[in-house]
Chains A and B, each alone.
Chain A
Amino acid sequence: MSSITSDLPHIIPSDFPSHWQTRISTLLNGQEQILAWLEIDLDNQLHFSPGLLIVTTHRILARSEKDENWQAWSNQPDMKLTYQDHAGICSIELFDIHARLACWHCTLEKHQAIDQLIAHFVQLITAETAQTGEAPANPDEGTEIESDSKIAIETDLADSSESIATGNQETNTAPPSTWTLFRLWRFAKPYKWQLLTGFMLMLGSTAAALVPPYLTMPLMDNVLIPYQNGHPIDTGLVTFYLSGLLGAAVLAWILGWLRTYTMAKVSERIGADLRTTTYEHLLGLSQAYFGGKRTGDLMARIGAETDRINMFLSLNLLDFATDVLMITLTVIILVSINPWLALITLLPLPIIAWLIHLVRDRLRVGFEKTGRVWAEVNNVLADTLPGIRVVKAFAQEEREIERFRIVNQRNVEINDRVNKIWALFTPTVTFLTECGLLVVWIFGIWQVSQDHITVGVLTAFLAYIGRFYLRLDSMSRIVSATQKAAAGTKRIFDILDHVSSVPEPVKPIHLPAIKGHIGLSNVSFRYGTRRVIQNLDFAIKPGEMIGLVGHSGSGKSTLINLICRFYDVTDGAILIDDVDIRSLPIAEYRKHIGLVLQEPFLFFGTIAENIAYGRPNASRREIIAAARAAYAHEFILRLPYGYDSLVGERGQALSGGERQRISIARALLIDPRILILDEATSSVDTQTEQEIQGALDNLVSGRTTIAVAHRLSTLQQANRLVVLDHGKIVEVGNHEELMDRRGHYYQLYQAQSRSSDDEEQPAAAGKIMGIRSNLA
């Protein structure tokens, strides 16, 4: 690398920030090359202020926008550049052996660049040390290239994650435009023929409904007025017109009925598809998504919003289309009868259109708020009801009621605000309608007096106009429905547009059977701004049992979440049989993993169904075999309905140990190669733990097992114990080795045995009593 660059004096890399280029070019001397740079965005008082930090082949250069001059430190073999972050702010410090030379700050946004900068610096320093210790340059180059490519990969990953992030921001900031409704077309497409049928029916029924007013014209002019002028009534003609009226009414009734039925049927199916698709997509999202959302909100979105969209499609949209059609047809008929009168009739139309436009924006904002506040009401319920034991235990019912009341109050207030606009709107439209009618009367009477039109024409006009404005009125109502539906659609598509942060691989590798070798290679994980796991390197052999030990918050559970791929690693890779888990299809990969959690979750259903959760087609014989191995068979038989007993919410009450054994049976039935026990025995007492232990031993044998346990005594049969502290591995070894080492593990163990002494003494006393009574 250095041989190439020495020919060309200081090339400034093409992607170097342009506004610094002129300032830097004069500064570099001789063969100095820019290796890496970092745009700093904070000064030492943590005020936003741009600056630049550069690592060159000879020096470290730094300058902030406010400074006059560059600061420079020549590279020395014993220099150190370190980096740490806290609460989203990164600090970079430069040390030599004597003291700290400088310190810079920037936001976490830059952490990729910092990693690069430090990587380059470390390379440089080690190369320099190596040179002084007369080491060959070639191997250095090799490592350099390798790490370069690694950095390139990292930046690639960063780019892609950034693009996802910005994509989300875009969808979040855009207001719910009515156009979002057109995205529903994706769901309507399968039903396009039914929709077309519905539309044709609508056309027919609307046309039929327009016949009666038209017939009033000849009825008036040819029958009633001549009669008033002394002519007898022509019965045949009357019968003809009246049967026409009846026929049109019957036709409109039948077509209208068919139309409504067809459209309701279609929209119900579209709604159902929408709900299922959203739920399907939701379950495909990563654990991180569920961590950030509240259950009530998601429930409201899938339940209430889809229902609202459904209502919109089946009722409002249909009405709206009918209205538009009706108005268009009416206008055509009116113009064909008398263009002038038609013009006068249509006069209030632009005013109403303007009014609708005015109100629309306010209503849209209002209805989106209503949706949100409704979700909040749901959230309160979803928070409180599952935690009802805690609420009652602390006698906080009053407070929860108050909390609900406040949210509900807000709901009322926001609805009040929307209703206020609304309340004014509808009567205004009605008022304008009445005015329109008045104008038509005035103009019509004048025209009749001038003999320009007949009384029949005026009657027909008035009959039409009644319908016309009625339609206009109901059309204005569509505004709110449209806005509601658009807001709902937006909230639904928020979910549908969300890309899982644990994406399916583009080119999946299929591993039908795995041996169970797990490799962690330089794994790091960042949760928000917190670094939870740092550069872990570890390999687990097939069939080995590993115990993860450490204080709470040391990253044990996070590591397990990473291995299960509930989250993806920030850096590095997790390998199963030397294949990156990110290149395996997620569902296929998780089939190899059996998970036993601290709180075994039982779904509402029979015990047999719960055991067979991971393999629904398991035979009864297999279910019983799994239950036997999990030591659950006998207690299940004791239940009134055996394996058919209902458990889960509203089901049979089971003890913690019993529930845990069912969840162990569940894991046994899928016969996974990799087993993860996340505090599997933490929620049960020591005696139950002993009962479960037999079940666990059956489960563990022959499988690669990773067990997290707070109680260290449960991990003694592990092949190796891994002690984690602040996301790093600090000790590895079996129980005896670690005890001998008198390090972290020893301290943890001592602390626990001291506290459990008080607990176990009564138990031991009980045992002695038991023995005594046996002797007697």
Chain B
Amino acid sequence: MNTNLTGCKLNRNTFGKLIATGKDHQIHEGVIPVRAFPVTAPGEGISLVDNHGHEVVWIDNLAELPEMERNLIEEEFASREFMPEIKRIDKVSSFATPSIWQVQTDRGNTQFTLKGEEDIRRLSLSTLLITDSNGIHFLVRDRSVLDRHSNKLLDRFL
């Protein structure tokens, strides 16, 4: 198990899969980048795991990587990760759950159903994670940045 990227190469093959070549020229096909702290420190601690879930390479910080590799990993993340960040809450259908929320996120406007208050989880004092009825997570990264209208609506559920 390598714990850093020194001496390890990363490419994408023609099938669109990531290939990691280790120091001992061992080739790992179809490695997947995984963030260790996707919410609290998305840029730090990234692991490349093979398709059995075993760690192949450990990257302490994404910013320290050469540009080519970093872009490859970021591309991979962009195609796999889906955790829309709520920028504004436009409307909620009712203050009693289940309730349909209309929100603006960093990935566009959408609506989702909140099953119960317990699906809103406090990750830190100002960070909230909202799970909708389909299990998709919506992130409120910083409550204090939301506008007053959104906060007022959100407050009714906390």
Shortest B128–chain A CB gap in Å is: 12
Cβ of A606 < 8 Å from any Cβ of B?
Answer: yes
Shortest B1–chain A CB gap in Å is: 9
Interface size on A, residues (CB 8 A): 17
Residues from chain A with Cβ under 8 Å of B34 in the complex: 637-638, 642
Residues from chain B with Cβ under 8 Å of A635 in the complex: 53
Interface residues of B in 21-73 (CB under 8 A from A): 34-41, 44-45, 47, 49, 53-55, 60
Cβ of B74 < 8 Å from any Cβ of A?
Answer: no
B53 with A643: CB separation less than 8 A: no
Residues from chain B with Cβ under 8 Å of A643 in the complex: 36-37, 45
Cβ of B145 < 8 Å from any Cβ of A?
Answer: no
Known: A606-B123, A642-B34, A646-B121. A637 touches B39 (CB 8 A): no
A620 with B41: CB separation less than 8 A: yes
A620 with B118: CB separation less than 8 A: no
A644 with B38: CB separation less than 8 A: yes
Considering the complex, give the chain B residue whose CB is closest to the CB of A638.
B53
Residues from chain B with Cβ under 8 Å of A638 in the complex: 34, 49, 53
A644 with B123: CB separation less than 8 A: yes
Interface residues of A in 620-636 (CB under 8 A from B): 620-621, 624, 633-636
Considering the complex, give the chain A residue whose CB is closest to the CB of B35.
A642
Interface string of A642-653 (1 = CB under 8 A from B): 111010001000
Shortest A621–chain B CB gap in Å is: 8
- Candidates B37, B39, B41, B54; contact of A634 at CB < 8 Å: B54
A637 with B40: CB separation less than 8 A: no
Within the assembled complex, what's the spacing in Å between the Cα atoms of A89 and B45? 64
Residues from chain B with Cβ under 8 Å of A20 in the complex: none
Residues from chain B with Cβ under 8 Å of A650 in the complex: 118
Shortest A254–chain B CB gap in Å is: 30
Within the assembled complex, what's the spacing in Å between the Cα atoms of A534 and B107? 69
Known: A634-B55, A637-B55, A638-B53. A620 touches B36 (CB 8 A): yes
Cβ of A538 < 8 Å from any Cβ of B?
Answer: no
Residues from chain B with Cβ under 8 Å of A644 in the complex: 37-40, 123
Shortest B38–chain A CB gap in Å is: 5
Interface string of B89-110 (1 = CB under 8 A from A): 0000000000000000000000
A608 with B37: CB separation less than 8 A: yes
A642 with B49: CB separation less than 8 A: no
Interface residues of A in 637-677 (CB under 8 A from B): 637-638, 641-644, 646, 650
Most chain A C-beta atoms within 10 Å of own C-beta, residue among B36, B45, B47: B36
Shortest B121–chain A CB gap in Å is: 6
Interface string of A61-105 (1 = CB under 8 A from B): 000000000000000000000000000000000000000000000
Interface residues of B in 3-25 (CB under 8 A from A): none
- Candidates A620, A621, A624, A641; contact of B38 at CB < 8 Å: A641
Within the assembled complex, what's the spacing in Å between the Cα atoms of A646 and B34? 17
B36 with A624: CB separation less than 8 A: yes
Shortest A572–chain B CB gap in Å is: 48
A642 with B38: CB separation less than 8 A: yes
A634 with B53: CB separation less than 8 A: yes
Within the assembled complex, what's the spacing in Å between the Cα atoms of A212 and B105? 60
Interface string of A710-734 (1 = CB under 8 A from B): 0000000000000000000000000
Shortest A431–chain B CB gap in Å is: 46
B118 with A641: CB separation less than 8 A: no
Residues from chain B with Cβ under 8 Å of A637 in the complex: 34, 36, 47, 49, 53, 55
Within the assembled complex, what's the spacing in Å between the Cα atoms of A650 and B116? 13
Shortest A602–chain B CB gap in Å is: 15
Residues from chain A with Cβ under 8 Å of B39 in the complex: 641, 644
Residues from chain A with Cβ under 8 Å of B123 in the complex: 606, 644
Considering the complex, give the chain A residue whose CB is closest to the CB of B48.
A637
Residues from chain B with Cβ under 8 Å of A633 in the complex: 47, 55
Within the assembled complex, what's the spacing in Å between the Cα atoms of A624 and B4? 14
Within the assembled complex, what's the spacing in Å between the Cα atoms of A480 and B16? 76
Shortest B42–chain A CB gap in Å is: 9
Most chain B C-beta atoms within 10 Å of own C-beta, residue among A621, A642, A650: A642
Within the assembled complex, what's the spacing in Å between the Cα atoms of A606 and B38? 12
Within the assembled complex, what's the spacing in Å between the Cα atoms of A633 and B56? 12
Within the assembled complex, what's the spacing in Å between the Cα atoms of A634 and B123? 22
Within the assembled complex, what's the spacing in Å between the Cα atoms of A345 and B53? 88
Residues from chain A with Cβ under 8 Å of B36 in the complex: 620, 624, 636-637, 642-643
Shortest A384–chain B CB gap in Å is: 20
Considering the complex, give the chain A residue whose CB is closest to the CB of B135.
A640
Within the assembled complex, what's the spacing in Å between the Cα atoms of A642 and B34? 8
Within the assembled complex, what's the spacing in Å between the Cα atoms of A650 and B53? 25
Residues of A near any B CB (own CB < 8 A) = 606, 608, 620-621, 624, 633-638, 641-644, 646, 650
A-B contact pairs, 11 of them (CB 8 A): A606-B40, A620-B41, A633-B47, A634-B49, A634-B53, A634-B55, A635-B53, A638-B53, A641-B39, A642-B36, A643-B37
Given contacts A620-B37, A643-B37, list 13 more A-B pairs with CB under 8 A.
A608-B37, A620-B41, A620-B45, A633-B47, A634-B53, A634-B54, A636-B36, A637-B47, A637-B55, A642-B34, A642-B38, A643-B45, A644-B37
